[in-house]
Amino acid sequence: MKNKFWILSILFILGTSIFAQEITKEESKFNQLASKTGTIIKFIDYKLSRLEFIGGGSANSTVRKLIINNEPHYFYYISIHSRWGNDVALTYDDFLALSEAMEKLKKDSAQDLALHLYYLENKFITEDGFELGYSIDSDKLTWYLVDNRFTSKNILLLSNLEILENSMKLAEQKFKILLNK
């Protein structure tokens, strides 16, 4: 009888510990590069503009260049001072995709607002899990950013889209200079 009790107890503990493991998402492309061991990594930031959020909080935006073994890697980098424990770094390809999607979303938002719907949401998600979108709730348009890399979603509401647009235009200009395009 004692053996059955111990066996059941061990099975119970093993079963609960297996299901209690936290599910983590894949590390971002930036973190994969920036955490390489055995190499020298140089970080260079080119300051862009500040992003302001509804309800307070802000972030600095930069173009970040990583040099690893003399090979450059470029990112659109958002350094968040509140709410998120981690910063957001978009690869140049994700930046281009986000930039293109932002233009489409901006056009869609004007059309969607004219529909006078009770609620609507429209969004774009990059390969790294960064999300830009908007919601319309009772004819009020709100733009947001979400970092989906973590198990708990972190949502930042933009005070207006123009702030992000300006930052991304500055980033595009800096990318062109750095990439000689």
**At a CB cut-off of 8 Å and minimum separation 6, what does 171 contact?**
48, 61, 63, 76, 95
pTM for this model (two decimals): 0.76
Contact in structure between 72 and 91 (CB atoms under 8 Å): no
Place of tokens 């994969």: 32
Q: Residue 132: which pLDDT band, with cuts at 50, 70 and 90?
A: very high
Q: What mean pLDDT comes out for the span 137-145?
A: 91
Distance CA 154, CA 27 (A): 16
Q: What is the pLDDT of residues 29-69, one digit of tens each?
A: 877 887 888 889 999 999 999 888 888 778 889 999 999 99
pLDDT tens by residue, 155-170: 778 888 999 999 999 9
